[in-house]
Amino acid sequence: MPDMRFAPPNPLRIADRASGLNAVSVRGYNERLVLSLLLQSKHITRLEIGERTGLSAQTVSVIVRSLEQEGLIAKGEAQRGRVGPPTVPLSLNPGGAYSVGISVGHRQVEVVLVDFIGSIRSHAVLPFSAAAQDTNHPQFMSAIAKAIADLPQHLHSRIAGIGLALPGDEVELELTPRAARERFDALQEEVEREIGYPVYVQNDITAAAGGESMFGVAKHLSDYLFFYLGARLHSRLVLNHQIYNTTGAVSFDVGILRLEQEITKQGRQTSELWERGADWPSFGEAEIAWQRELAGQMKSSIAALKQFVPITSVVLSSYAPQAVCKAICRELEQAMPGISAIAGNIERSPKAVGAAGLPFSSRFMVE
Amino acid sequence: MRSVLCYGDSNTHGQVPGGTPLDRYGPAERWPGVMARELGVGWHIIEEGLSGRTTVRDDPIEGAHKNGRTYLRPCLQSHAVLDLVIIMLGTNDLKVRFNQPASEVAMAMGCLVYDIKELKPGPGGSVPEIMIVSPPPMLDDIKEWRSIFAGAPEKSRRLALEFEIIADSLEVHFFDAGSVVTCDPLDGFHINGQAHASLGRALAREVEAIGWPDER
């Protein structure tokens, strides 16, 4: 019997010397484990990776070296402590991977291109006009192509894929232009065929929660109740970093649509409400009353949940200005002592940015 | 105190480029000495560099004692307990008398790794950390050595990749010395004092980066 120790070497992971991302198939479990830790923490040392994964220093060394060669992670400056050898922090290389995220709302479609740490490199909003009943297809595809073209050609091989966040809420689907549902169902295949990158699909609220978990304020939270403030108020429960995606989750009519109705009653302009990245003017009494109603609904959701799960953290994510979310969080914290309410920090397009996180989690992280 | 064994050939011995094995840089100038200074207190650095040492081959001309494999066992046992073994070998295996491609030299490096893993000279009978270092590629002009090393410079440029493949498959640390130093033009395959200093510093950073839990 041959001595298998001296069979041809079978490298654990020799990074492809060509630039660009390695094939999906070669990314082993341990490597995903290491990348997951890096996605969860800003800086981490090889020693900490070993301690948290149970992998040997030598295995960590091999994985880290190949990830470095692939350009996915970068070494920081050595930190000299008072005792022991200096430590070298590792972090994700922002330019190591890119991803396109698309969210389809009832009024507009958003397309973002984000880097490996979730910074938006390109952002576009398309009106989802009810007039274009059949399709807004060419416009939609060209917006995706444009987002990709915004990235220099030599980095295109670093695009991990396209994430698509689709609404699942029955009431919001009713608001979309006619036959939208059927169009959504066909989108994945169409985008994959025409743009040529793998497409990953998820419910839009779950995607937004994933975005805050991966890139935003919820990075270090393992258990929390996630609220998304859109046209309506949505929620998801996150336990042990796992987002529970219930079909038929209930949404509440205390969202921005509700505020719009109140403001319209006063005969005021409301277009700012639906803009991305714009500050809201003060809407006075109507806004204060709405905030109170919204916080009240959040409070009763939390109270109901607390009977089963000891939840203490709440994240409120929205495309609405962060100042508005912060005010709502303050309102909620006052009404519920012991609850820590945090406004999400993915501004402009939490759903689209969350969608862009899907190719990353699917290609680089453990389940 | 952590012990590190530096196991190598003339470039670990500190042989001066263009000189003989008896022309040697001083202890503080050789890369193990530089690395010791860089790592500071708490580290015990052991030098084991022999001019002409191969990975696993008895040298029919220079002698059987140049075989890095047969000497490794007594060497490990002499210096145990070891926390880390750094091996930088491979250049001498490229002598025309051995007629070996770079990939076979890498396989031989793998043998040494297996031997260390088998012997377990680490703390409490464990496998110590092992770091394979690929030597800097030879220069094209190797002066009067061109017949002994016929064809070697070309092969030496492939050692880094072949060693890295072996290091990956055996899950040990790897460093490419060619990424920080080049050989001296005086003979084309020895490193000079400046290169010893750079290599010692770079390896100290690599050793630190391994990540060492606090000693009990």
> ipTM score of the complex?
0.83
Reported confidence tier of residue A139, pLDDT bands at 50, 70, 90: confident
Average of per-residue pLDDT across A347-357 = 92
The predicted pLDDT at position A20 comes to 53
Q: d(Cα B47, Cα A67) in Å, to the nearest integer?
A: 32
Tell me which chain A residues have a C-beta less than 8 angstroms from the C-beta of B207. 85
Is the predicted pLDDT of residue A203 greater than 80, yes or no? yes
Which long-range contacts (C-beta less than 8 Å, at least 24 apart) are formed by B73-81? B73/B115, B73/B119, B75/B5, B75/B7, B75/B48, B76/B5, B76/B116, B76/B119, B76/B121, B77/B119, B77/B121, B79/B3, B79/B5, B79/B46, B79/B48, B79/B121, B80/B121, B81/B3, B81/B121, B81/B122, B81/B123
Sketch out chain A's domains with CATH numbers: 12-92 (1.10.10.10), 96-208+352-364 (3.30.420.40), 217-345 (3.30.420.40)
Q: Inspect the interface and report whether the beta carbons of B106 and A9 lie closer than 8 Å.
A: yes
Tell me which chain A residues have a C-beta less than 8 angstroms from the C-beta of B106. 9
Whether A45 has its CB under 8 Å from any CB of chain B: the answer is: yes
Residue of chain A whose alpha carbon sits nearest to that of B131: A58
Neighbours of A234 (CB within 10 A): 26
Residue A359: both structure tokens together: 């190719």
Residue of chain B whose alpha carbon sits nearest to that of A87: B209
Whether B167 has its CB under 8 Å from any CB of chain A: the answer is: yes
Whether A5 has its CB under 8 Å from any CB of chain B: the answer is: yes
Burial (Cβ within 10 Å: 0-12, 13-18, ≥19) of residue B73:
middle
Best B111, B210, B212 member to test A by mutation, with max A CBs in 10 Å, is B210
pTM to 2 decimal places: 0.85
Q: Inspect the interface and report whether the beta carbons of A6 and B111 lie closer than 8 Å.
A: yes
Whether B214 has its CB under 8 Å from any CB of chain A: the answer is: yes
The predicted pLDDT at position A13 comes to 59
Is the predicted pLDDT of residue A14 greater than 60, yes or no? no
Kindly state the helix (H) or strand (E) to which residue B121 belongs, with its residue range. none
**Nearest chain B Cα distance for residue A56, angstroms:** 9
Cis peptide before B81 (omega within 30 of 0): yes
Tell me which chain B residues have a C-beta less than 8 angstroms from the C-beta of A13. 168
Q: Residue with structure tokens 């952590």? A: B2
Three-state SS for A254?
coil
* pLDDT tens readout for residues A305-318: 999 988 899 999 99
The predicted pLDDT at position A27 comes to 63
The predicted pLDDT at position A272 comes to 82
Q: d(Cα A164, Cα A99) in Å, to the nearest integer?
A: 11
Q: d(Cα B13, Cα A265) in Å, to the nearest integer?
A: 88
The number of C-beta contacts closer than 8 angstroms across A and B is 77
Among residues of chain B, what percentage have pLDDT more than 70?
100
Whether B129 has its CB under 8 Å from any CB of chain A: the answer is: yes
- Please tell me the total number of residues recorded for chain A in this structure: 367
Neighbours of A300 (CB within 10 A): 10
Mean confidence (pLDDT) of chain A: 85
Neighbours of A273 (CB within 10 A): 16
Reported confidence tier of residue A189, pLDDT bands at 50, 70, 90: confident
Helix runs in B136-192, H state only:
152-156, 159-170
Whether A69 has its CB under 8 Å from any CB of chain B: the answer is: no
Is the predicted pLDDT of residue A276 greater than 90, yes or no? no
Tell me which chain B residues have a C-beta less than 8 angstroms from the C-beta of A10. 169
Residue of chain A whose alpha carbon sits nearest to that of B84: A58
Best A61, A64, A68, A83 member to test B by mutation, with max B CBs in 10 Å, is A61
Q: d(Cα A314, Cα A361) in Å, to the nearest integer?
A: 23
Reported confidence tier of residue B59, pLDDT bands at 50, 70, 90: very high
Phi-psi map region of B40: left, alpha, beta (phi>0 left; psi -120 to 50 alpha)? left
Q: d(Cα B83, Cα B126) in Å, to the nearest integer?
A: 9
Whether A141 has its CB under 8 Å from any CB of chain B: the answer is: no
CA pseudo-torsion sign A230, A234, A238, A241? negative
Contacts of A355 (CB under 8 A, 6+ apart): A101, A102, A103, A163, A164, A165, A202, A204, A207, A211
The predicted pLDDT at position B13 comes to 98
Q: d(Cα A38, Cα A44) in Å, to the nearest integer?
A: 7
Whether B171 has its CB under 8 Å from any CB of chain A: the answer is: yes
The predicted pLDDT at position A130 comes to 46
Is the predicted pLDDT of residue A273 greater than 60, yes or no? yes
Strands A224-229 and A313-318: parallel
Q: d(Cα B160, Cα B174) in Å, to the nearest integer?
A: 9
The predicted pLDDT at position B171 comes to 92
Q: d(Cα B95, Cα A243) in Å, to the nearest integer?
A: 61
Annotate A335-359 with DSSP letters as a single string: HSTT-EEEE----S-HHHHHHHHHH
Residue A159: both structure tokens together: 């695009």
Is the predicted pLDDT of residue B17 greater than 60, yes or no? yes
B169 to each of A21, A78, B93, B114, B116, how far by Cα in Å?
Answer: 20, 28, 21, 12, 15
Tell me which chain B residues have a C-beta less than 8 angstroms from the C-beta of A51. 213
Average of per-residue pLDDT across B94-109 = 97
> CB of B138 within 8 A of CB of B168?
no
Of B129, B130, B211, the CB nearest to A47: B211
* pLDDT tens readout for residues A27-52: 678 888 899 888 888 889 999 999 99
The predicted pLDDT at position A181 comes to 67
**Nearest chain B Cα distance for residue A280, angstroms:** 49
Q: Inspect the interface and report whether the beta carbons of A65 and B174 lie closer than 8 Å.
A: yes
> CB of A33 within 8 A of CB of A366?
yes
Kindly state the helix (H) or strand (E) to which residue B53 belongs, with its residue range. none
Reported confidence tier of residue B127, pLDDT bands at 50, 70, 90: very high
Reported confidence tier of residue B142, pLDDT bands at 50, 70, 90: very high
Q: Inspect the interface and report whether the beta carbons of B168 and A12 lie closer than 8 Å.
A: yes
Q: d(Cα B99, Cα A341) in Å, to the nearest integer?
A: 71
- Please tell me the total number of residues recorded for chain B in this structure: 216
Sketch out chain B's domains with CATH numbers: 2-209 (3.40.50.1110)
Among residues of chain A, what percentage have pLDDT more than 70?
89
Average of per-residue pLDDT across A265-278 = 81
Helix runs in A266-321, H state only:
285-306
* pLDDT tens readout for residues B159-194: 999 999 999 999 999 999 999 999 999 999 999 999
β partners of residue A242: A239
The predicted pLDDT at position A340 comes to 95
